[in-house]
């Protein structure tokens, strides 16, 4: 299950971590965000140690929202070795996310 991160946890885990991190900027009241949750869980299960999925609640982590200029939920950002390499906004197809993960493993 995706770990929910705050600002300090984000810096430590995502920016300071090695490998791929898929960050889900979401809101609890966002219907499209809820539609993405099972897709993200499937990706996390499929890729195991090759991908870590983490969540950032945009209602509580406004500093991260501002820092990464998140303007809509869901916003999915793919980080590799602490650097953002891809960003998608809105509901995404699982196959499209798999493609960008495969290209960056």
Q: Considering the candidates 5, 14, 22, 33, report the single residue annotated as catalytic.
A: 33
Task: Report the side by side order of strands in the sheet with 3-4.
Answer: 3-4, 51-57, 20-26, 75-80, 83-89
Phi first, then psi, for residue 65 (nearest 5°) are: -60, -45
Q: Considering the candidates 2, 30, 43, 100, report the single residue annotated as catalytic.
A: 30
33 is catalytic: yes
Residues serving a catalytic function are 30, 33
């Amino acid at each position: 299950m995706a770990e929910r991160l705050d600002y300090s946890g984000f810096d430590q885990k995502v920016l300071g971590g090695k490998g791929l991190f898929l960050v889900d900027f979401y809101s609890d009241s966002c219907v499209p965000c809820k539609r993405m949750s099972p897709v993200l869980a499937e990706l996390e299960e499929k890729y195991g140690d090759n991908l870590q999925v983490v969540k950032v609640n945009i209602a509580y982590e406004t500093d991260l929202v501002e820092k990464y200029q998140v303007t809509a939920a869901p916003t999915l950002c793919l980080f590799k070795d602490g650097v953002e390499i891809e960003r998608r906004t809105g509901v995404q197809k699982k196959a499209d996310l798999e493609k960008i993960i495969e290209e960056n493993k």
